[in-house]
């Protein structure tokens, strides 16, 4: 037993000395090769521990140390800034950070036609994001048990033709944080899947509400154009009578007929747009929703709410950092205990080795891993900036569209009063019918523009809610 203990201590010291060959994730230095003493190897490891990323145990919650005399305190304090950053990020967020944020989001569709459209579309939803989230959760549950030993059969054929069958038991004792990073990667993967689910559901609701807005805009245009068509037909009747009586030239009738045909075409286009939008919406909702009408007010979202794209970038950054930690651990030596039970006897021992060997490109590979962490942080900052710019643009566009819609309404009211005066002057013989038709055409353009601006502002508000992920209740996802 004493010999076994000395051999285990020696192997452990050699493993830790191998860990000391990576200075600051960069160039190799191998001063320990001249020594075969475990104590000497550990001492030299201690002299370089300021620039060496210490390994981590495979067990969850375990301290970054090994219960071996003389090295426990050293390993508990030997952490690089990169590993510390990765661990702090994963701990600060946690698997419940992003998911809890998503669950706490309240929908801004309180009541009215918007809420009915959202409810109908949500019931008929069959997105693949739900299955992806379920798969990610199962992978996370599996990764949470990765610190437990693995057991598997082993069958081999010896040179003498004998079949050796048995069971092999492997237990990772020291893996430089690989198992912990695998668990963090799986948790971050669940967060990414959860954000993707929220993006999918909110995007689906936004698509449905956009179709509803398009149908409502076409319906409002039809109502306005229907009254304009009635007036234009009356003007065309007057012009035709004046042409038949020889009072007006034939060109007046040609112009009035062209404007009447244009209004008819606009009315038919609005009718077709309404029918098409409601048909597409019915396909999404699984039923006809043409009975709904009108716009609905949106509730104010919670202040300081982050966009879904930012949450996804943060989750992907945590996943990237965990992946980089796993890649880095592949270059460092680990310690594994292995025992086997076979028909030719039992055996047990400690294995020391690394998944990836050392080469001339090892330093560059480690620098690339460190750069990938920086790139992940940069992507989060870029996503936050892009989301802030997009939300600011949409909110300003909404304000501008509402203001311009009010201006268009006021201009239409003034034009309507002027048109009434022109008609009186026409009946008094002071204005020609073509002057009245031209002013009527201007009134139609102003009214159509006011309708377009109102629905454009409504669409901008829905786009903002979609970016913030508040079209759907987070607790219902």
Structural contact between residues 178 and 334, judged by C-beta atoms closer than 8 angstroms: yes
Return d(Cα 141, Cα 477) in angstroms, integer.
20
Beta strands 163-174; 345-353: pairing state: unpaired
Q: Which of 103 and 87 is assigned the larger pLDDT?
A: 103
Return d(Cα 127, Cα 199) in angstroms, integer.
11
Q: Which two tokens stand for residue 455?
A: 């629905």
For CA atoms 13, 14, 16, 20, give the dihedral sign: positive
Q: Which of 408 and 64 is assigned the larger pLDDT?
A: 408
Q: What is the pLDDT of residues 205-218, one digit of tens each?
A: 999 999 999 999 99
So what's the pLDDT on residue 100?
A: 87
Return d(Cα 396, Cα 402) in angstroms, integer.
10
Nearest of 430, 477, 368 to residue 134 by alpha carbon: 477
Structural contact between residues 403 and 67, judged by C-beta atoms closer than 8 angstroms: no
So what's the pLDDT on residue 76?
A: 33
Give backbone dihedrals phi and psi of 174, rounded to 5 degrees, phi first. Answer: -150, 120
Of 86-100, 151-165, 319-333, the least confident: 86-100
Q: Which two tokens stand for residue 230?
A: 């009635």
Return d(Cα 350, Cα 458) in angstroms, integer.
67
Instruction: Report whether pLDDT(34) > 90.
Output: no
So what's the pLDDT on residue 69?
A: 35
pLDDT winner (highest mean) among 11-25, 186-200, 203-217, 239-253 = 203-217
Of 223-227, 235-239, 352-356, 444-448, the least confident: 352-356
Question: How many whole angstroms from its chain centre is CA 397?
Answer: 24
Instruction: Report whether pLDDT(446) > 80.
Output: yes
Structural contact between residues 191 and 98, judged by C-beta atoms closer than 8 angstroms: yes
Q: Which two tokens stand for residue 133?
A: 């989230």
85-141+205-329+360-476 classified as CATH 3.40.50.11540: no
So what's the pLDDT on residue 426?
A: 87
Instruction: Report whether pLDDT(28) > 90.
Output: no
Q: Cα–Cα distances in Å, from 450 out to 119, 217, 406?
A: 30, 11, 7
Other CB atoms within a 10 A radius of the CB of residue 142 amount to 12
| Crossing angle between the packed helical segments 81-103 and 362-427, to the nearest 10 degrees | 30
So what's the pLDDT on residue 42?
A: 29
Q: Domain map of the chain by residue range?
A: 85-141+205-329+360-476
pTM of the model: 0.73
Q: What is the pLDDT of residues 451-471, one digit of tens each?
A: 999 999 999 999 999 999 999
Contacts of 212 (CB under 8 A, 6+ apart): 113, 114, 117, 277, 281, 289, 292
For CA atoms 269, 272, 278, 283, give the dihedral sign: negative
Contacts of 273 (CB under 8 A, 6+ apart): 214, 215, 217, 218
Return d(Cα 57, Cα 334) in angstroms, integer.
10
Q: What percent of the chain has pLDDT over 70?
A: 76
């Amino acid at each position: 037993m004493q010999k076994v203990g000395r051999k285990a201590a020696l192997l452990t010291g050699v493993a830790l000395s191998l860990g000391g060959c990576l200075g600051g994730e960069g160039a190799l230095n191998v001063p320990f090769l001249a020594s075969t003493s475990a104590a000497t190897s550990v001492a030299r490891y201690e002299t370089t521990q300021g620039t060496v990323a210490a390994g981590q145990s495979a067990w969850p919650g375990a301290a970054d140390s090994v219960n071996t005399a003389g090295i426990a305190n050293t390993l508990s304090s030997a952490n690089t800034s990169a590993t510390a950053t990765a661990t702090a990020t994963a701990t600060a967020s946690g698997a419940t950070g992003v998911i809890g944020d998503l669950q706490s989001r309240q929908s801004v569709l309180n009541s009215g036609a918007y809420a009915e459209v959202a409810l109908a579309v949500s019931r008929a939803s069959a997105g693949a994001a739900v299955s992806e989230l379920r798969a990610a959760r199962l992978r996370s549950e599996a990764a949470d048990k990765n610190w437990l030993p693995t057991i598997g059969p082993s069958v081999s054929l010896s040179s003498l033709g004998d079949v050796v069958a048995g069971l092999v038991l492997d237990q990772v004792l020291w893996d430089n944080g690989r198992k912990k990073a695998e668990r963090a990667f799986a948790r971050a993967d669940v967060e990414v899947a959860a954000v993707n689910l929220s993006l999918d559901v909110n995007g689906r609701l936004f698509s449905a509400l956009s179709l509803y807005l398009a149908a409502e805009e076409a319906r409002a245009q039809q109502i306005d154009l229907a009254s304009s068509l009635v007036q234009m037909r009356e003007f065309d009747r007057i012009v035709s009578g004046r042409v038949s009586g020889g009072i007006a030239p034939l060109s007046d009738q040609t112009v009035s007929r062209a404007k009447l045909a244009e209004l008819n075409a606009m009315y038919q286009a609005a009718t077709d747009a309404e029918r098409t939008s409601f048909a597409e919406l019915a396909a999404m909702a699984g039923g006809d929703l043409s009975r709904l009408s009108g716009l609905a007010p949106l509730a104010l979202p919670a202040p300081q709410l982050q966009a879904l794209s930012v949450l996804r970038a943060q989750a992907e950054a945590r996943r990237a950092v965990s992946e980089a930690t796993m890649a880095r651990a592949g270059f460092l030596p680990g310690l594994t205990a292995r025992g086997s039970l076979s028909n030719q006897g039992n055996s047990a021992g400690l294995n020391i080795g690394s998944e990836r060997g050392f080469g001339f490109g090892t330093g560059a590979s480690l620098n690339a891993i460190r750069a990938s962490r920086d790139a992940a942080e940069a992507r989060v900052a870029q996503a936050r900036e892009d989301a802030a710019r997009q939300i600011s643009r949409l909110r300003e566009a909404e304000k501008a569209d509402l203001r311009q819609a009010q201006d268009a309404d006021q201009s239409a009211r003034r034009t309507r009063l002027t048109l009434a005066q022109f008609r009186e002057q026409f009946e008094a013989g002071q204005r020609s019918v073509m002057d009245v038709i031209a002013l009527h055409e201007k009134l139609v353009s102003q009214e159509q523009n006011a309708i377009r601006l109102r629905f454009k502002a409504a669409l901008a508000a829905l786009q903002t809610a979609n970016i913030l992920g508040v079209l759907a209740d987070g607790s219902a996802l």
